Amino acid sequence: MKKEEILNAYHFRHATKVFDDSRKITAEDFEFILETGRLSPSSIGFEPWKFLIVQKPELRQRLSEVSSGAQKQLATASHFVVILARTDASYNSPYAEYMLKEIKGMPDDVFELTSAAYGNFQNNQRLLENPKTLFDWASKQTYIALGNMMTSAALIGIDSCPIEGFSYQDVHRILEEEGLLEDGAWDISMMAAFGYRIEEPKREKSRQPLDKITQWIE
C-alpha cells in the first residue's frame, strides 16, 4: 500500500460521535478489523485483551445509562466493543503458563527459563507491587490493539471512536452481573464504537507540528 494511502486513512479517521444507524458493517469487514486487533503486539507477547462485541440492545442501553461519553455511539454504532484487560497476567499465573505452553508451544525446560526471565522483567518494572499496577500494564496493551483496529477500519472507509467516558464502577458491575468478567479474570479497559459517519467533521484534523513532538539525539 502506498504511503499516501496510509496517511489518507489517518486523516480520514476522527472520533465519530454519531453514526448512521441505517448502515451496518459487513461480517467480513468487521472480522478483518478484529483480526488486526488479534495480530497486534503486546508486552512479552501476553495478549492480555478480550473484545466484547456488544450488539444486544438491552445491554447497550444499560451501558449508555452509565457512560456519559458513549451515549450517542451506543445508540447508533454498527458495532460497539467493550475492551477487557486481563487482571492476572503475572509471570507465574495459570494464564501465563497457558500463553507460553499452549499458544507459543514452549516445552517445559524453555517455559521455566522464559517464565523466570519474565518474572525478572515484571519485578524490574514494578508491575507486581499490587493488582492495580499489573492491571494497568495489561490495560496499556489493549490500546495498541485498538489503535491498529481503528487504523485498519479507516483504511477500508469505516469510522470509529475510542471511548473512556464511563463510570468504571458501574460498567464493572454491569459486566459482572452479565457474567462477562469470568470471576474477576478480566476487567474493563476501554470502549470503542465502529460504523459509518452521518456527517463530515466540522473542521480539519488538528495536530502539533512534527518538530514540536520530536527530538533527534545524534
106, with CB counted inside 10 A (0-12, 13-18, 19+), is middle
* Residue 208: pLDDT over 90: yes
The SS3 assignment for 82 reads strand
* Residue 181: pLDDT over 90: yes
User: What mean pLDDT comes out for the span 66-73?
Assistant: 97
The pLDDT assigned to 1 comes to: 67
User: What mean pLDDT comes out for the span 68-80?
Assistant: 97
* Residue 33: pLDDT over 70: yes
Q: How far apart are CA 68 and CA 179, in angstroms?
A: 23
User: What mean pLDDT comes out for the span 60-70?
Assistant: 97
The pLDDT assigned to 204 comes to: 85
* Residue 203: pLDDT over 90: no
* Residue 202: pLDDT over 90: no
* Residue 205: pLDDT over 90: no
Give the bridge partners for 190, in sequence order: 83
**Cβ-contact 141, 46 below 8 angstroms:** yes
* Residue 173 identity: R
The pLDDT assigned to 106 comes to: 97
The pLDDT assigned to 53 comes to: 98
Cell 491498529 appears where?
148
Could you tell me what percent of the chain has a pLDDT over 70? 100
**Cβ-contact 90, 115 below 8 angstroms:** no
* Residue 105: pLDDT over 70: yes
* Residue 111: pLDDT over 80: yes
Q: What is the pLDDT of residues 117-126, one digit of tens each?
A: 999 999 999 9
Tell me the pTM: 0.94
**CA-angle at 65, arms to 64 and 67, nearest 5°:** 60
Residues 195, 151, 98, 105: what is their CA dihedral angle, to the nearest 10 degrees?
A: 130
Give the bridge partners for 122, in sequence order: none
User: What mean pLDDT comes out for the span 2-16?
Assistant: 95
**Average pLDDT over all residues of the chain:** 97
Cell 492476572 appears where?
88
Q: How far apart are CA 75 and CA 64, in angstroms?
A: 8
